[in-house]
């Protein structure tokens, strides 16, 4: 996901200070750190691997629908290995 953000005032100062003191290499890294901190504080995502797998399956299913592909059966998937 690509997002463009513009900060003014205190948020801008905080991001700049995080870079100045060496907590983050860039403002973008500081924002990433903030996102992970937010998750740690509020447990928004409990099982990261499960969430990532679900997101990937969702994308693949969408691509399959768009290209009108179907899932292979187990027999079809293993046929070239027999």
pLDDT of the residue at 59: 94
Asked whether residue 80 carries a pLDDT value surpassing 90, the answer given is no
Q: How far apart are CA 2 and CA 81, in angstroms?
A: 40
Q: How many helices (H) and strands (E) does the chain have?
A: 4, 0
pLDDT of the residue at 5: 94
Q: How far apart are CA 70 and CA 80, in angstroms?
A: 18
Q: How far apart are CA 81 and CA 20, in angstroms?
A: 57
Asked whether residue 44 carries a pLDDT value surpassing 90, the answer given is yes
Q: Are the C-beta atoms of residues 70 and 64 closer than 8 Å to each other?
A: yes
Domain ranges of the chain: 7-44, 46-82
């Amino acid at each position: 996901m690509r997002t463009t953000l513009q900060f003014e005032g205190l948020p801008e100062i905080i991001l700049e200070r995080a870079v100045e003191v060496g907590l983050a290499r860039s403002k973008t890294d500081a924002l990433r750190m903030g996102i992970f901190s937010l998750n740690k504080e509020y447990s928004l995502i409990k099982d990261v691997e499960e969430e990532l797998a679900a997101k990937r399956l969702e994308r693949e299913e969408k691509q399959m629908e768009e290209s009108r592909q179907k899932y292979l059966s187990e027999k079809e998937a293993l046929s070239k290995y027999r």
